[in-house]
Amino acid sequence: MVEASTIEQRTDDHALEAVPDSQRQNWLQITWSTAGIVTTLIQLFIGALVTFVAGIKIGLMAGILVTICGALIGWGAGHIAYRTGLSSSFMSRAHGFGVRGSVILALVFGFMIIGFLAVENALLYKGFLFYLNLPDTMGSRIIIYGILTIAWILLTAYGFNMVTKVSSIALIGFLLVLLYMVIDVIATSGQSWGSVLQFGAQLPPEALKAMGADTDAGKFAFAVNVLIGSAGALALVDADLGRYARTSRDIGIAALLGNVAMDIVMLVVGGIVMYAGMGQIVDYHVTVGGMTHEAAQAMALQSPDSIAAAFIIFGGIIGTILMIFAQSKAQVLNTYSASLSLTSLFDALFSWRPGRLLFVIVANIIGCIMLVGSILEWFNSFLTVLGVLTTCFAGIMISDFFIVKRILRSRGEVETSVPEINWAGIITLVVAFVLAHYVLNKYISIEFFTSLPICIILYPILRLPALKKGAVTRQAA
């Protein structure tokens, strides 16, 4: 019984309760996870996409802006988690949405994180096919996806602490391989560092116009809107990890370094490797894969699979192994955050608490389902929308904690209970999203510039009057 209880406690990982002080960690320990979850193939591809549309200079400017904003939002959400000891989905009950209202955050964030889980699985699958020269058959999919899914379930359920301990080694190794790849690609491309670090938009003018990126302002807006999707998700991951922080400073530093890794390091490396290495990648597909030059160029430019191919071509066997380890680390963290959201979701809806292990399995099953048909393509098309929503969630929770609760304390008041549905939070979310994405997007093309301020300002305006109607009580002197 003692052994069974220990296993249950380890797998549940305080999913529905505050993390005890004895398990708190410093900023370096948390950073291995905040940076580890974003040092992935998909973030390298996003970096290549942004720089190929905007050029590396404009792309980097957008990355710096998103790094600053993402770090501040991540610190805000992470600070609340540090103070409460709760995950993002669970703490949103008392800070912005109510018990049943938190279902919206759990659904959106869970869908987004499971989507990333599925995308990374697909990239790993393509990488295995490329490295082993296997055909894309149903048998290959069942075997490879099956092995990956079982691995993520077992590592998240029983080896999460082990993964977080070795994540530092995996992250350092991955970054060293990236550095080697950048140096090797530029050296063998025949281009100078100066020319590589100044390349402009690489897509045809008609494609840029279709994206609304035919001007410098349009390119900057496109880059920010793409990057903020991952930054919004990372802010909520910061909360999931920030509940382990010893101090607010610890999660603040971890949030900053995670955003630097995602929006600066991965953006620059992804852009440079794909730009300087494009000729070699195309030649490899032509000589080894038997493709025509046009087909090889289209695949290298348009498909995220090209990032996995670049790792194998330029990194060799060591690069391939470290790519797998780095992806494994990120997939375990994705599964972890997804299972927390699903745990909170079913608890809020049905008061059902079967244990987090079940939701680790469910998250991976849903990830496998998303690989069927066009669901993954649909997910990718909604990244900007999901980015606006996740920044709205963080903005509302920050507004509740730092503005509403502070005003109540200044009055000597405290909320008497957590509402089932906090309508102020729900209404604020809807208004901010609709105005940012459908109404004002023609005038303010960077959508979270609209949604985030609306959330921070509108929520207290709606919430404070509601609290005057008997939802607060005077604190004892």
Task: State pLDDT tens for residues 10-52.
Answer: 445 555 567 887 888 889 889 988 998 888 888 888 898 899 8
Distance, CA of 346 to CA of 208 (rounded, Å): 43
Task: Determine contact, residues 116/367, Cβ cutoff 8 Å.
Answer: no
End-to-end CA distance of the chain: 46
Residue 307: per-residue pLDDT: 74
Residue 301: per-residue pLDDT: 63
Residue 425 structure tokens: 């939070």
In the chain, the amino acid numbered 357 is L
Hey, which residues does 413 pair with through a beta bridge? 474
Residue 292: per-residue pLDDT: 79
Task: Determine contact, residues 298/289, Cβ cutoff 8 Å.
Answer: no
414 by DSSP, 3-state: which? strand
Task: Determine contact, residues 351/8, Cβ cutoff 8 Å.
Answer: no
> Which residues are within 8 A (CB) of 26 and not within 5 positions of it... i.e. 6 or more apart?
246, 250
The H or E element spanning position 332 is helix 305-350
3-state class percentages of the chain: helix first, strand second, coil last, to nearest 5 = 80, 0, 20
Task: Determine contact, residues 46/212, Cβ cutoff 8 Å.
Answer: no
Residue 104 structure tokens: 């919206």
The low-confidence residues of the chain, meaning pLDDT below 70, are 1-17, 159-164, 166, 288-289, 299-305, 373-381, 469-477
Residue 477: per-residue pLDDT: 44
Residue 305: per-residue pLDDT: 66
- Alpha helices, DSSP H, located in 92-215: 102-132, 138-158, 160-189, 193-196, 205-210
Number of C-beta neighbours around residue 132 at 10 A: 9
Instruction: Name the burial class of residue 464, with classes exposed (0-12), middle (13-18) and buried (19+) by CB atoms within 10 angstroms of its CB.
Output: middle
Beta strand extents in 239-356 (DSSP E only): none
| Residue 444 to residues 151, 218, 229, 263, 457, Cα–Cα distance (Å) | 44, 11, 17, 22, 18
Q: What is the per-residue pLDDT across 405-461, written as a single tens digit (0 to 9) for each?
A: 999 989 888 887 889 999 999 999 999 999 999 999 888 888 989 999 999 999 999
